[in-house]
């Protein structure tokens, strides 16, 4: 039940885009049509689900104060959390590179449709943000952490696909000149965020 609750919460209430503005750069840049938006959304979810549990293990068995106790008594007081940022981002960057290479080798078709987005993902704030929130919220076990990763990814996907759909329709409307493109996209994002706020407080 905990896992379902956290998935629902991270999709609607703590939506990465609308509540924390994470991954805004690619959100704004790649939301011109639904198909590419869907591709990027899937890629983000995939990388989140891979990296967040990995970082969870590293955080709890290596970095946290006292986490090295399994290694021997003399390591009980070691606190490596200063390095967490450095290690998280290294893990993310290498997983992205690895995934890119594996997909390229085994499924060239998928690589062609996703390939261009994969390098972008290493610097998508939503991915690192997920890991940092994981560290801050101290999830009880790896299952919950994975559920959180999945929910945040789906929430991001939902946001970018919805945005792309609206922008496709927007093509036919008459927007004031200085607002064209970027400006109107910002205003739509703000309105969507206000809409999403109506979900706040939902608990299962």
Partner 1 sequence: MALSNKTKEVLLGPLNKNNPVIVQVLGICSALAVTSKLEPAVVMAISVTVVVAFANVIISLLRKTIPNRIRIIVQLVVAAALVTLVSEVLKAFAYDVNKQLSVFVGLIVTNCILMGRLEAFALGNGPWPSFLDGIGNGLGYGWILVAVGFFRELLGSGSLFGHKVIPQCVYDAGYKDNGLMMLAPMAILIVACIIWIHRARNKDLQEESN
- 57 part of the interface to partner 1, by CB under 8 A: no
- 62 part of the interface to partner 1, by CB under 8 A: no
- 171 part of the interface to partner 1, by CB under 8 A: yes
Q: Does residue 191 contact residue 170 with C-beta atoms inside 8 Å? A: no
Q: Does residue 19 contact residue 13 with C-beta atoms inside 8 Å? A: yes
Signed CA dihedral, 201, 12, 51, 120: sign only: negative
In 76-117, which residue ranges form alpha helices assigned H by DSSP? 84-106, 108-114
| The only residue of 57, 85, 98, 102 in contact with partner 1, by rule CB under 8 A | 85
- 179 part of the interface to partner 1, by CB under 8 A: yes
If phi > 0 it is left, if psi is from -120 to 50 it is alpha, else beta; for residue 33 that is: beta
- 23 part of the interface to partner 1, by CB under 8 A: yes
- 138 part of the interface to partner 1, by CB under 8 A: no
Selected range binding partner 1 among 22-30, 46-54, 72-80, 149-157, rule: CB under 8 A: 22-30
| The only residue of 125, 142, 161, 165 in contact with partner 1, by rule CB under 8 A | 125
Cβ-Cβ contacts under 8 Å for 36 (sequence gap 6 or more):
30, 117, 164
- 97 part of the interface to partner 1, by CB under 8 A: yes
Q: Does residue 204 contact residue 8 with C-beta atoms inside 8 Å? A: yes
Signed CA dihedral, 83, 89, 90, 91: sign only: positive
CA distance 149 to 69: 27
Report, in Å, the least distance between residue 158 CB and partner 1.
17
Task: Tell me whether residue 140 or residue 178 sits nearer to partner 1 (CB atom).
Answer: 178
Report, in Å, the least distance between residue 115 CB and partner 1.
15
| The only residue of 136, 138, 198, 201 in contact with partner 1, by rule CB under 8 A | 136
List residues near partner 1 by CB under 8 A. 18-25, 28-29, 82-83, 85-86, 89-90, 93-94, 97, 119, 122-125, 127-129, 132-133, 136, 167, 170-171, 173, 175-184, 186-187, 189-191, 193-194, 197
């Amino acid at each position: 039940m905990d896992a379902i609750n956290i998935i629902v919460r991270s999709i609607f209430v703590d939506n990465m885009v609308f509540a924390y503005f994470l991954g805004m750069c690619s959100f704004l840049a790649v939301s011109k049509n639904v198909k590419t938006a869907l591709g990027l959304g899937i890629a983000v979810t995939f990388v989140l689900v891979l990296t967040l549990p990995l970082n969870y293990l590293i955080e709890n068995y290596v970095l946290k104060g006292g986490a090295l106790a399994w290694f021997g008594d003399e390591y009980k007081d070691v606190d490596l959390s200063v390095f967490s940022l450095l290690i998280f981002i290294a893990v993310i960057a290498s997983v992205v590179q690895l995934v890119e290479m594996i997909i390229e080798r085994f499924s060239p078709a998928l690589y062609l449709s996703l390939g261009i987005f994969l390098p972008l993902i290493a610097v998508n704030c939503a991915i690192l943000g997920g890991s940092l929130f994981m560290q801050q919220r101290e999830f009880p076990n790896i299952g919950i952490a994975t559920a959180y990763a999945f929910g945040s990814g789906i929430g991001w996907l939902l946001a970018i696909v919805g945005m792309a759909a609206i922008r496709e329709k927007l093509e036919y409307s008459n927007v004031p000149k200085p607002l064209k493109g970027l400006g109107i996209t910002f205003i739509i994002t703000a309105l969507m965020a206000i809409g999403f706020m109506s979900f706040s407080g939902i608990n299962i």
